[in-house]
Amino acid sequence: MRNTLLNVVDLRKSFGALKVTDGINFQVLEGEIHALIGPNGAGKTTLIHQLSGNLKSDSGSVYYDGQDITRLGMAERVRLGLARSFQITSILEGFSVLENVAIAIQARSGSSFRFFKPAAAEDELNAEALGLLARVRLADRAQRRAGALSHGEKRQLEIAIALATGAKLLLLDEPLAGTGHEEGSILIDLMRSLRETHTLVLIEHDMDAVFSLADRVSVLVYGRVIASGSPAAIRNDPEVRAAYLGEEEAA
Ligand SMILES: Nc1ncnc2c1ncn2[C@@H]1O[C@H](COP(=O)(O)OP(=O)(O)OP(=O)(O)O)[C@@H](O)[C@H]1O
Domains, in order of start, for the chain: 1-81+168-251 (3.40.50.300), 90-166 (no CATH)
Q: What is the pTM of this model?
A: 0.91
Residue to mutate, 11, 44, 247, ligand 1, most ligand atoms under 8 Å from C-beta: 44
Output the residue whose Cα is nearest ligand 1's atom 28: 41
- Please tell me whether residue 19 adopts helix, strand or coil conformation: strand
For ligand 1, residues with CB inside 6 Å are 15, 18, 20, 38, 40-46
pLDDT of residue 115: 55
pLDDT of residue 64: 97
Residue to mutate, 11, 12, 14, 18, ligand 1, most ligand atoms under 8 Å from C-beta: 18
pLDDT of residue 242: 87
- Please tell me whether residue 241 adopts helix, strand or coil conformation: helix
Torsions phi, psi of 54, nearest 5? -75, -25
Output the residue whose Cα is nearest ligand 1's atom 26: 40
pLDDT of residue 247: 56
Could you give the strand order of the β-sheet that contains 169-173, starting from the edge strand earlier in sequence? Answer: 82-84, 169-173, 199-203, 33-37, 216-221, 224-229
Element containing residue 189 per DSSP (H, E): helix 181-194
- Please tell me whether residue 59 adopts helix, strand or coil conformation: strand
Residue 82 pLDDT > 80, yes or no? Answer: yes
Q: What is the band of 90 on the pLDDT scale with cuts at 50, 70, 90?
A: confident
Residue 109 pLDDT > 90, yes or no? Answer: no
Q: What is the band of 86 on the pLDDT scale with cuts at 50, 70, 90?
A: low
Residue 67 pLDDT > 70, yes or no? Answer: yes
Output the residue whose Cα is nearest ligand 1's atom 13: 41
CA of 51 to the centre of ligand 1 (A): 15
Q: Complex ipTM, two decimals?
A: 0.94
- Helix ranges (H only) for 42-113 are 44-52, 74-80, 97-109
pLDDT in tens, 19-43: 999 999 999 999 999 999 999 999 9
pLDDT of residue 1: 72
pLDDT of residue 249: 53
CA of 45 to the centre of ligand 1 (A): 7
Buried b (16+ CB within 10 A) or exposed e, 108-146: ebeeebeeeeeeebeebbbebbbebbebbbbeebbeeeb
CA pair distance 60, 66, nearest whole angstrom: 15
